[in-house]
Amino acid sequence: MFQVLTLDDSFDTLALRQALWAEKIGHQITSERVSTPDGEAVRQMLWLADPEQLPRVIAMLERHSRGEPLRDEATEASGFSSGASGGLWQLVRQTPLTWLVGLACCLTVLCQYVLGQAAVFEWLAIVPFELVGSQHIAPAPLSTTLAGEWWRLWSPSLMHFGILHLVFNLLWLWVFGRQIEAIDGAWRFALVVLVSGVAANLAQYATGSVLFGGLSGIDFAVIGYVFIAARRRPMLGYQMQRSLMIFMLIYLVLCMTPLSSAIGLGAIANEAHLGGLLAGLVLGFVLPRRAPGATS
């Protein structure tokens, strides 16, 4: 993050944060005491993940000073960033790990279609297994994974059961995972993804399941992390509505009831969802706040 502007303490940053996120500008806002001729005063510091975005931010603030909306009306109507729609590449530069995880999931699903589900699962399932006939498997114990095939603790997160399953999971990663990477940095995002993926997979394996997969455990983790961060550190620009968290909790509970099968949701890795959510909430509480200006 790079410090670019100092704002008066009386400046209401809520609308600015919302506008910056709408424009896909990674940022955070901190409050600090500074010395002035009249003594000490509190100022709000604006930090950007990409300092090249500063001219766009200044243009927003100039419109605000004239009593106009922070975002250009034409931009809001079109849904695209003003002028600097150097677009896709710029988004990739802001949150490269979010895109990398999504790309890895897409390539894995492509391999599932090309090579077959069984071949990919034999390599990425949480434990090695052998096919017995066409309907049964003989899984190895977890100790086999721990003896050297460590990637299996996380790799089930890459596998998905169909395109809709993949798209749904990538949507949540895009909405919430990129907030973590843009605000708290790539290393913090990587830690959340790694820890929550392992936690979710082990939680599901503990129920006796072997053939499971999906990014949803990590999705629940990033949702939980952002929910905590938006309340403990609201000045940083995290966006998370309480109503959405309530919806996700209702969905989590619904999937644990027979009603989920009755409405056609099918088999769901509920324990992975719960394990991921708990991991995200815990990480949101225990991870120390990054120092302002620290780069990722």
Residue 16 vs residues 61, 116, 228: alpha-carbon distances, Å = 8, 48, 21
Active site residue 216: yes
Cα distance between residue 239 and residue 196, in whole Å: 20
Active site residue 261: no
Q: Within 30-70, where are the H helices?
A: 54-65
The three-class DSSP label of residue 72 is coil
The three-class DSSP label of residue 43 is strand
Name the token pair of 130.
């052998």
Q: Which position among 155, 196, 216, 296 bears the catalytic label?
A: 216
Q: Which position among 27, 160, 273, 296 bears the catalytic label?
A: 273
* DSSP for 120-172, written as a single string: HHHHHSSS-EEEETTTEEEEPPHHHHHTT-GGGGTGGGG--SSHHHHHHHHHH
Closest CA to 128 of 106, 101, 148: 148
Query: What burial class does residue 172 get, using C-beta atoms within 10 Å of its C-beta: 0-12 exposed, 13-18 middle, 19+ buried?
Result: middle
Closest CA to 189 of 26, 47, 48, 31: 26
Catalogue the active-site residues: 216, 273
